[in-house]
A and B are shown apart, each in its own frame.
Chain A
């Protein structure tokens, strides 16, 4: 899962940098609070600038910004390539149309005439999006009413679903597993329980699943 992979690279890196900056600033504030407390004989500095230091610091900040932009944009580029249309690589993809609606999900397997619906009213009936491992799955995400957002927290991916618009993206699932999916864009009264399951299964199991869920002609 490319989303989880790039998140796992960038987020800890940014957290480490943020943590270091926070510790440095906090330590400086504590230094000032403890050691620069007003007392007899101490006078405050009247200095209002240190132009050379300020310039060097601005250059350092620009360097950090440039590094962050480079690192994160290249991660985003890798993600973008990995999720773009697999037709060019000649990999046969499974095509699934995902329709979000108030307040549940429908999954149409475009090449199979198989559809999965469900009810988000009870956790036993959340719709299950079954996908094969080992080969690309091309999603076409849309909405039939208001804006929703398809989020699988464990896989760190989220794409918005708009009415009258389709967002297409490709995911590859390397390992079998099942994860809870949620709606991440407020969409009305039952937004809180607009859940689904995403289940990745091995190709043979996927074939069996398809046979058990024949399409309605």
Chain B
């Protein structure tokens, strides 16, 4: 450059700026951070749309014999709410967090195979458009639930093309997730900075490793199940025997139980990092937690039959054994989280509030998970609102609180802007009240006999009062999310002035600027002495000052 004329260097800078700022640059980027922002941003937009569908359902169910939505409309709404949340929101967002943070946390400058990763985003985006586009069809969107059991989803019982675009959407987004999960896993295996041994990986990165192992191991099973469903739509009489119907359930749940943990682990990892940072100490119980995450991932692929206890066609006691065994790694993870705060010096910022609420709230989902993993209890509560309450406690009261803990925590890293603390606290308080008010009554509704996926109920059922409470809770959650949107708008209009490390972070992503440069680190990395290298650095500096 030294020999170039001044004019050349100016034009080069302009070109560079154009090359990194334009829409085209974003859509063809090979920067893992930008791909992650695309995936996470898309997921967040769809999250709001799926939330609106949830509000429609809660309005419909607020009182008995409501005629706001017809049965077939309600069926489309709950199908796309569930499918959208699982295939298009929580799974992609969980992966986007790993895609953004893992290369930074392990001191790498890029993700392995960035173009394959970007292809993953494109597949996911087209999948989302296909599935949600179902609402534009004359016959409506898919209406067989996110599980889409055969033969209900075949072309005899679901003739509309909504089911076809649903298959397309799930297939594309799932292939996209496999690509992204595989490249992030590859990154951890081969692109770690010198000194970053496997037992110095931050807890969040370990959670991502376990997540991606499950993706690579279990997601292909869904593709096979979808293939079976395609056969059921092209030639329903060819797959009419029971073996195909029950076979579909096996293939589906072999994917769909691990996906529950895919939608959970990255958020538990986020909670672990937040708890550690705001307790001003390294995460307690690192090794048991790592072992637990891997044991969890392994067990996750041997519990799928607990979704089929009432089919009369699986070995219930075996799947109950593996399901109940999950309490051992889960208990150890909780030991780490609770142990971290008990010996900490706690600072209550918005991310910490979400992380703290995560602990008891997810616990409700986990403890009731043991109940639904018990055959003699599941014979009653399966397919009821008890189950709806259970998995919303894991996903909404658990994973989403972890998601928001991570979002408030890493937002300054990603955007260079700190979210407003007071709006964050209002968001948090409303979300705690709304979430529990919405989902707690559902345990009793299920106990008293309300099946899931019903568009209405009779006055004589006596479900009215609890449903009304639940719907009021949903309205409070909506208010909480409006506060969050206001926070995003207010924050993004301010200049990007966040420091590299606004929270006294413990891991390597806080050692680079906010947002990080395209190659992640322009300064030499700090010495990697453990799984919380920046905390080690601060502690060493403090002890040197003392001596």
Whether A associates with B in a native complex is yes
Interface residues of A (CB under 8 A from B): 3, 6-7, 10-11, 14-15, 18, 21-22, 25-26, 28-29, 31-33, 36-39, 42-50, 54, 57-58, 61-62, 64-65, 68-69, 72-73, 75-77, 79, 102, 123, 145-147, 149, 151, 153-154, 156-160, 162-165, 167, 169, 180, 182-192
Q: Mark each residue of chain B from 349 to 393: 1 if its CB lies under 8 Å from any CB of chain A, else 0.
A: 000000010011001100110110011110110111000000000
Q: Which residues of B contact A3 (CB under 8 A)?
A: 376, 379-380
A75 touching B376, Cβ below 8 Å: yes
Q: A14-B370, A48-B283 are in contact. Are A54 and B310 (CB under 8 A)?
A: no
Q: Which residues of B contact A33 (CB under 8 A)?
A: 341, 346, 348, 356
Q: Which of A15, A73, A151, A187 contacts B152 (CB 8 A)?
A: A187
Q: A123-B458, A186-B144 are in contact. Are A7 and B376 (CB under 8 A)?
A: yes
B451 touching A151, Cβ below 8 Å: yes
Q: A65-B325, A192-B71 are in contact. Are A11 and B356 (CB under 8 A)?
A: no
A183 touching B363, Cβ below 8 Å: no
Q: A37-B346, A58-B288 are in contact. Are A68 and B370 (CB under 8 A)?
A: yes
Q: Which residues of B contact A154 (CB under 8 A)?
A: 449
B279 close to chain A: CB less than 8 A: yes
B320 close to chain A: CB less than 8 A: yes
B137 close to chain A: CB less than 8 A: no
B282 close to chain A: CB less than 8 A: yes
Q: Which residue of chain B lies nearest to A10 when distances are taken between CB atoms in the complex?
A: B376
Q: Which of A7, A72, A169, A187 contacts B324 (CB 8 A)?
A: A72
Q: Which residues of B contact A38 (CB under 8 A)?
A: 280, 345-347
Q: Which of A37, A62, A158, A188 contacts B380 (CB 8 A)?
A: A158
25 contacts between A and B (CB under 8 A): A3-B379, A31-B342, A32-B342, A32-B346, A36-B344, A39-B345, A44-B343, A45-B343, A47-B284, A49-B285, A58-B288, A58-B332, A61-B332, A68-B370, A72-B324, A76-B376, A79-B379, A102-B157, A149-B383, A163-B245, A165-B246, A184-B310, A184-B384, A186-B452, A192-B456
**19 extra interchain contacts, Cβ-Cβ under 8 A, other than A77-B317, A154-B449, A186-B149?**
A3-B376, A3-B379, A14-B370, A15-B371, A36-B343, A37-B348, A42-B345, A44-B343, A48-B282, A50-B285, A68-B327, A69-B320, A76-B317, A76-B376, A145-B157, A149-B383, A163-B242, A164-B241, A165-B313
B310 touching A160, Cβ below 8 Å: yes
Give complex CA distance A163, B352 in Å.
51
B453 close to chain A: CB less than 8 A: yes
Q: Which residues of A contact B454 (CB under 8 A)?
A: 191-192
Q: What band does the interface of chain B fall in when counting residues whose beta carbon is under 8 Å from A?
A: 35 or more
Q: Which residue of chain B lies nearest to A55 when distances are taken between CB atoms in the complex?
A: B288
Q: Which residues of A contact B345 (CB under 8 A)?
A: 36-39, 42-44
Report A8 CB to chain B, min CB distance, Å.
Answer: 10
B346 touching A10, Cβ below 8 Å: no
Q: Which residues of A contact B284 (CB under 8 A)?
A: 47-49
B145 close to chain A: CB less than 8 A: yes
B75 close to chain A: CB less than 8 A: yes
Q: Which residues of A contact B334 (CB under 8 A)?
A: 25
Q: Which residues of B contact A28 (CB under 8 A)?
A: 338, 342
Give complex CA distance A43, B346 in Å.
10
Give complex CA distance A14, B448 in Å.
18
Q: Which residues of B contact A22 (CB under 8 A)?
A: 360, 363-364, 367
Report A92 CB to chain B, min CB distance, Å.
Answer: 24
Q: Which residues of A contact B52 (CB under 8 A)?
A: none
B422 close to chain A: CB less than 8 A: no
Give complex CA distance A132, B454 in Å.
31
Tell me which residues from 433 to 489 in chain B have a Cβ below 8 Å from any Cβ of chain A.
Answer: 448-449, 451-458, 460
Q: Which residue of chain B lies nearest to A71 when distances are taken between CB atoms in the complex?
A: B374
B321 close to chain A: CB less than 8 A: yes
Report A105 CB to chain B, min CB distance, Å.
Answer: 15
Give complex CA distance A37, B279 in Å.
9
Q: Mark each residue of chain B from 228 to 272: 1 if its CB lies under 8 Å from any CB of chain A, else 0.
A: 000000000000111001100000000000000000000000000
B281 close to chain A: CB less than 8 A: yes
Give complex CA distance A147, B380 in Å.
17
B320 touching A18, Cβ below 8 Å: no
B375 touching A25, Cβ below 8 Å: no
Q: A36-B342, A149-B310 are in contact. Are A61 and B371 (CB under 8 A)?
A: no
Q: Which residues of B contact A32 (CB under 8 A)?
A: 338, 341-342, 344, 346
Q: Which of B311, B335, B348 contacts A54 (CB 8 A)?
A: B335
A18 touching B240, Cβ below 8 Å: no
B7 close to chain A: CB less than 8 A: no
Q: Which residues of A contact B360 (CB under 8 A)?
A: 22, 25-26, 29
Q: Which residues of A contact B363 (CB under 8 A)?
A: 21-22, 25-26
Give complex CA distance A175, B456 in Å.
32
Give complex CA distance A6, B368 in Å.
17
Give complex CA distance A15, B341 in Å.
27
Q: A156-B379, A163-B242, A190-B71 are in contact. Are A48 and B152 (CB under 8 A)?
A: no
B152 touching A153, Cβ below 8 Å: no
B286 close to chain A: CB less than 8 A: yes
B40 close to chain A: CB less than 8 A: no
Give complex CA distance A149, B152 in Å.
13
Report B349 CB to chain A, min CB distance, Å.
Answer: 11
B75 touching A189, Cβ below 8 Å: yes
B451 touching A182, Cβ below 8 Å: yes
A153 touching B380, Cβ below 8 Å: yes
Q: Which residues of A contact B67 (CB under 8 A)?
A: none
A158 touching B341, Cβ below 8 Å: no
